[in-house]
């Protein structure tokens, strides 16, 4: 007899189907099924909990191949499961970079063996992420990539970027771009402003992001093909994207949790766990980003989960690598700030930003609780207050600025293809 699971009496929120009701959810053979009262072999009590499609993070660094001292497929996906994520999209800045079908195949096979959640691959836009020569887009598409990006790097040559978008359009792929104009950013390591002057650290001005966002808007309009701007940090970028989307340009943007939770003032202690790219900016930028989320300008939430070994971060801030971990904390941060404290959006919209919106952007068959869909499900306790302890993290790396922070809202069970892969310890 096949296993039939009933998730009972939860608040089902499924934005893809405009569903928000208290009901039972049924699972069999790894898929969502229509109700079968009296036939369940397992019952999960979800009273007081939200039952939602498994969360999707489209911006994650899993570090394999080549950087397993920072993270592995197994550890990174355990961290994802602990954050309520059932699907993650891996960035291509590995070693070797994911610029060939062979590397994509290796990643997919490694994930099939070791990952506890779904791992999807992006392919590099250019060979070696050097911004000089296009990677074989057709081969990458045939190998199964869901998007193209040189994340961690930004193509400076506008002609190469144009051709990349045109090739991507042939295969129905979205180009995702790390927006950074090297000529104006230079060796900047934090937001250029009052605090960079106080601390004597090289500044990374907003314009360094906004110039590339403007470039991408023009290319998306020229090529009539989508470009997605990664980790938006500047209020000016929000304004540019808002105006372009109002004209119908196929441009979109995403937000990382740290860019609405922290400001550049937190670097006063010279702690490299607050060093990221793009950098933390000002409260003014945070207000603009939250407004952009609230009015639908920014449609994706993500982590930019970027693990680094402790010895890499425990150096002078100038020499430390950019990036922080984030898979385990991002949902709680966004929920606490956007829904609980600011009431900028409601809970169904928050879940949409983690499910139906990323699924639509990358054309994924995930992010829904429709009958027949893969049974990727997360149970969330929106009223749970909890404190993050980096020493309990599932990630191999502990480079987080959120150790000891308390948030409201947490995933308590993560289900992938009908099987529980993580539960919160009692």
The answer to whether 304 is a known catalytic residue is yes
CA 238 from chain centre, in angstroms, equals 18
Tokens of 295: 């009015």
Paired with 139 in beta bridges are: none
* Order of all β-strands in the sheet with 55-60: 55-60, 85-90, 118-123, 147-149, 174-177, 227-229, 251-256, 300-302
Catalytic residue among 304, 336, 376, 381: 304
Active site residue ranges: 304
């Amino acid at each position: 007899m096949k296993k039939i699971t009933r998730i009972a009496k939860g608040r089902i929120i499924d934005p893809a189907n405009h569903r928000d009701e208290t009901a039972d959810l049924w699972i069999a053979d790894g898929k969502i099924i229509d109700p079968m009262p009296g036939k369940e072999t397992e019952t999960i009590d979800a009273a007081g909990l939200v039952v939602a499609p498994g969360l999707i993070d489209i911006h994650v660094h899993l570090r394999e191949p080549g950087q397993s001292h920072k993270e592995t497929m197994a550890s990174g996906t355990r961290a994802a499961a602990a954050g309520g994520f059932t699907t993650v999209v891996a960035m291509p800045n590995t070693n070797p970079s994911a610029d060939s079908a062979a590397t994509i195949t290796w990643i997919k096979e490694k994930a099939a063996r070791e990952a506890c959640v779904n791992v999807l691959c992006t392919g590099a836009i250019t060979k070696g992420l050097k911004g000089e020569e296009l990677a074989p887009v057709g081969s990458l598409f045939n190998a199964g990539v869901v998007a193209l990006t040189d994340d961690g790097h930004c193509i400076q040559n506008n002609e190469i970027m144009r051709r990349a978008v045109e090739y991507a359009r042939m295969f129905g792929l979205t180009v995702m771009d790390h927006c950074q104009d090297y000529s104006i950013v230079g060796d900047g390591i934090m937001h250029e402003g009052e605090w960079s002057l106080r601390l004597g650290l090289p500044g990374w001005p907003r314009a360094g992001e906004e110039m590339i966002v403007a470039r991408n808007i023009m290319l998306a309009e020229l090529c009539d093909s989508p470009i997605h701007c990664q980790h938006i940090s500047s209020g000016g970028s929000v304004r540019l994207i808002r105006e372009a989307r109002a004209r119908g340009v196929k441009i979109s943007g995403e937000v990382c949790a740290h860019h609405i939770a922290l400001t550049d003032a937190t670097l006063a202690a010279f702690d490299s766990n607050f060093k990221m790219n793009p950098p933390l900016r000002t409260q003014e930028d945070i207000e603009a980003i939250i407004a952009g989320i609230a009015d639908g300008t920014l449609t994706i939430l993500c982590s930019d989960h970027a693990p680094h070994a402790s010895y890499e971060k425990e150096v002078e801030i100038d020499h430390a690598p950019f990036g922080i971990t984030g898979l385990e904390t991002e949902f709680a941060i966004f929920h606490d700030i956007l829904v609980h404290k600011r009431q900028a959006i409601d809970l169904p919209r928050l879940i949409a930003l983690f499910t139906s919106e990323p699924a639509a952007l990358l054309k994924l068959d995930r992010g829904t609780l429709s009958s027949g869909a893969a049974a990727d499900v997360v149970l969330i306790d929106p009223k749970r207050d909890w404190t993050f302890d980096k020493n309990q993290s599932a990630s191999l790396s502990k480079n987080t600025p959120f150790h000891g922070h308390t948030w409201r809202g947490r995933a308590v069970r993560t289900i992938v293809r009908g099987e529980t892969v993580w539960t919160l310890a009692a």
